[in-house]
Amino acid sequence: MSSGRIHPRIPGYLGRALSLEFSAVQQYMTQASLVEAWGLPEAAARLRREMVEEMHHADRLTQRMLALGFAPAASQLHPARAGGHLADLLREDLRLEREIIALYQDAALYCRRLGDAGHEAFFAALLEEEIHGFHGLEQWLASLAPERHHDFGDRVYF
């Protein structure tokens, strides 16, 4: 792959995706530490698994950018978002995952319109993994009974 042979919007999609994936890493890492402090080690472990999955996505994006001859740069990280209980955290995670999914959908469709099957497949594979993760978070949130939300009062964590 050569940077001179790809459409100029492809590096933009890759850069935005890298920023979102690193934003997700930061969010899951922060939330894992937070719920661990709340005494929820199983939730912390699950959030750390989500963090590792997003790190793998960031690694794939970085490798793709390097292969194309572009310096990877995640320049616009979103602040990590939290809440007063686990359900709030998961709602924030779903919000971020929706943003990532929308970007991958847009990127894959754009590549299809360009006739760039290689990048379409790259973005579509990431999209499929993100959708799978999104459904897992939805199921986790749905499994939380209201009495298990672990409300920690009016404290503001960030």
In the predicted structure, residue 147 carries a pLDDT above the cut 70: no
> What are the distances in angstroms from CA 102 to CA 15, 83, 91, 124?
15, 24, 17, 11
Mean pLDDT of 89-111: 97
For the segment 124-147, the average pLDDT, to the nearest whole number, is 92
**pLDDT number for residue 146:** 66
Q: Which two tokens stand for residue 143?
A: 């499994």
Q: What is the pLDDT of residues 49-81, one digit of tens each?
A: 999 999 999 999 999 999 999 889 887 888 888
Residue among 97, 105, 94, 99 at smallest CA distance from 127:
105
For 93, counting Cβ atoms within 10 Å of its Cβ (0-12 exposed, 13-18 middle, 19+ buried), the class is buried
Question: Mean pLDDT score of the chain, rounded to an integer?
Answer: 89
User: What pLDDT does 67 receive?
Assistant: 95
Write the pLDDT tens digit of every residue in 35-46. 999 999 999 999
Torsion, Cα 128 131 132 136, to 10 degrees, reads 170
> Which amino acid is it at 2?
S
Give dist(CA 44, CA 46) in Å, integer: 5
Q: Whose CA is closest to 107, among 19, 25, 12?
A: 12
State the amino acid at position 114 in one-letter form: L
- Give pTM, 2 decimals: 0.87
Between residues 22 and 76, which one has the greater pLDDT?
22
Mean pLDDT of the 14-20 span: 96
Q: How far apart are CA 51 and CA 59, in angstroms?
A: 12
| Start-to-end CA span in the chain (Å) | 42
